[in-house]
Amino acid sequence: MRTGIDALAFDVSKIHLSIQTLAKARNIEPEKLEKGLGLINMTLPDVHQDTVVLGANALTKLILENDIDLSEISRIYVGTESGIDNSKPIASFLIALMEQKFGENILAECDAVDFTFACIGGVDALQNCLDFVRLYPDKKAIVVTTDIAKYDLNSTGEYTQGAGALAMLISSNPRIIAFDNQWTVSTKGVFDFFKPYRHVTKEEITGDSNNEPWFENLESEIEIHKDQPVFDGQYSNQCYTDRTRDAYFSLKDLKNTEDSLYHSWENIIMHLPYAFQGRRMLPEIYALDAHKKILSGDEDAVEYQNKLKELSKSDVYKTFVHKKLQPAEIASSLIGNLYTGSIFMGLLSTLANASEKNIELEGKKIGFLAYGSGSKSKVFEGVVQLDWKLAVAKVQLFENLNKSVEIDFETYEKLHKKELKISVLQPKQEWILDRIEKEIPNLIGARYYKWVE
Same-domain check for residues 122 and 172: yes
Same-domain check for residues 111 and 220: no
The predicted structure's pLDDT at residue 302: 86
Residue that terminates a domain, selected from 224, 242, 265: 224
Same-domain check for residues 170 and 265: yes
In a domain, 130, yes or no: yes
Q: Which amino acid makes up residue 134?
A: R
In a domain, 160, yes or no: yes
**Dihedral angle sign, alpha carbons of residues 406, 79, 437, 98:** positive
In a domain, 294, yes or no: no
Tens of pLDDT, residue by residue, the chain (453 residues): 899 999 999 999 999 999 999 999 999 999 999 999 999 999 999 999 999 999 999 999 999 999 999 999 999 999 999 999 999 999 999 999 999 999 999 999 999 999 999 999 999 999 999 999 999 999 999 999 999 999 999 999 999 999 999 999 999 999 999 999 999 999 999 999 999 999 999 999 999 999 999 988 999 999 998 999 999 999 999 999 999 999 999 999 999 998 899 999 999 999 999 999 999 999 999 988 875 667 766 678 888 888 889 989 999 999 999 999 999 999 999 999 999 999 999 999 999 999 999 999 999 999 999 999 999 999 999 999 999 999 999 999 999 999 999 999 999 999 999 999 999 999 999 999 999 999 999 999 999 999 999
Same-domain check for residues 252 and 363: yes
Same-domain check for residues 206 and 265: no
In a domain, 304, yes or no: no
- In angstroms, what CA-CA distances link 266 with 3, 181, 351? 20, 19, 12
Same-domain check for residues 65 and 119: yes
The predicted structure's pLDDT at residue 304: 85
- Give the Cα separation of 219 and 212 in Å (integer): 9
Same-domain check for residues 216 and 89: no
Tell me how far apart the terminal alpha carbons of the chain are, to the nearest angstrom.
Answer: 41
User: Does the global pTM surpass 0.85?
Assistant: yes
In a domain, 439, yes or no: yes
The predicted structure's pLDDT at residue 247: 98
In a domain, 377, yes or no: yes
Same-domain check for residues 155 and 220: no
Buried b (16+ CB within 10 A) or exposed e, 216-230: eeeeeebeeeeebbe
In a domain, 288, yes or no: no
Same-domain check for residues 139 and 18: yes
Which CATH number is 342's domain given? 3.40.47.10
Mapping DSSP onto H, E and C, the string for the chain reads: CCEEEEEEEEEECCEEEEHHHHHHHCCCCHHHHHHHHCCCEEECCCCCCCHHHHHHHHHHHHHHHCCCCHHHEEEEEEECCCCCCCCCCHHHHHHHHHHHHHCCCCCCCCEEEEECECECHHHHHHHHHHHHHHHCCCCEEEEEEEEEECCCCCCCCHHHCEEEEEEEEEEECCCCEEECCCCEEEECCCCCEECCCEEEEHHHHHCCCCCCCECCECCCEEEECCCCCEECHHHHHHHHHHHHHHHHHHHHHHHCCCCCCHHHCCEEEECCCCCCHHHHHCHHHHHHHHCHHHCCCCCCHHHHHHHHHHHHCCHHHHHHHHHHCHHHHHHHHHHCCCHHHHHHHHHHHHHHHHHHCCCCCCCCEEEEEEEECCCEEEEEEEEECCCHHHHHHCCCHHHHHCCCEECCHHHHHHHHCCCCCCCCCCCCCEEEEEEECCCCHHHCCCEEEEEEC
Same-domain check for residues 355 and 398: yes
The domain total for the chain is: 2
- Structural domain span for residue 423: 3-192+232-282+325-452
Same-domain check for residues 376 and 251: yes
Same-domain check for residues 237 and 161: yes
User: Regarding beta strands 162-172 and 3-12, do their DSSP bridges make them parallel or antiparallel, or are they unpaired?
Assistant: antiparallel
Q: Which amino acid makes up residue 305?
A: Q
- Give the Cα separation of 270 and 275 in Å (integer): 10
Q: Which amino acid makes up residue 351?
A: L
